[in-house]
Chain A
Amino acid sequence: NAGVMQNPRHLVRRRGQEARLRCSPMKGHSHVYWYRQLPEEGLKFMVYLQKENIIDESGMPKERFSAEFPKEGPSILRIQQVVRGDSAAYFCASSRSDDQPQHFGDGTRLSIL
């Protein structure tokens, strides 16, 4: 099953540490999207990337958050100096093109102690 792969599934960090979340898109998909879900809420868009390019980062906080999708390897969402408010589920989705349905990974649950 070559679905969208996210790891780790669960990540625990202490305040001030860095969190790195990984996403490997489905085979043949070159468009990657990151979303954040707070408890009991819908998903909120963060950033949209194609290989080596950030297309839209309008939903991403200006500080501490960054994303990349290198030519080789998975897409990475990086959160520096984490705070309690960063606790959430982070979902990655991929699509073959920007007008095709997005398929989601199982998410990474980030907990900040």
Chain B
Amino acid sequence: AQKITQTQPGMFVQEKEAVTLDCTYDTSDQSYGLFWYKQPSSGEMIFLIYQGSYDEQNATEGRYSLNFQKARKSANLVISASQLGDSAMYFCAMREDTGRRALTFGSGTRLQVQP
């Protein structure tokens, strides 16, 4: 069974600094995808970044990058140059490429960016 673990319920970061949000996963599948979503206080879910299990390069999207360490089964999100608008809940999710197509989500990390 799939499992996603986010061990940091809350994180603080100073504006303009970088922050790493941890995510570890457990799967017996060889082919899978890892996703990060942002949920601001207004409640919507915003897709940030995707990493395929066979991608050799770490994914990057603007200020977001995914530090993918396959052997450790970790997929940490790195946000560079934090902005006040980055304050939100962040969810890591996984989808196995065989079988169920649904996303399995972690419990989330609440990030607060301080001025």
* A interface residue numbers (CB < 8 A to B): 31, 33, 35, 41-45, 48, 55-56, 58-59, 89, 91, 93, 98-99, 101-107, 109
Q: Are A91 and B100 in contact (CB under 8 A)?
A: no
Q: Are B45 and A101 in contact (CB under 8 A)?
A: no
Interface status of B26 (Cβ within 8 A of chain A): no
A46–B106 alpha-carbon span in the complex (Å): 16
* Interface size in chain B (residues, C-beta < 8 A): 23
Q: Does B71 contact A (CB under 8 A)?
A: no
Across-interface contacts of B33 in A (CB, < 8 A): 99
**Residues B105 and A44 in contact, CB atoms below 8 Å apart:** yes
Residues of B within 8 A of A (CB): 4, 33, 35, 37, 42-47, 50, 91, 93, 97, 100-108
With A56-B101, A58-B100, A101-B50 as known contacts, state yes or no: A91 contacts B107, CB within 8 Å. Answer: no
**Is B45 touching A104 in the complex (CB atoms < 8 A)?**
yes
Contact B45 A91 (CB under 8 A): yes
A42 lies within 8 A of B105 (CB): yes
CB contacts (< 8 Å) of A59 on chain B: these are: 102
Closest to A58 in B: B100
Which residues on B sit within 8 Å (CB–CB) of A105? 44
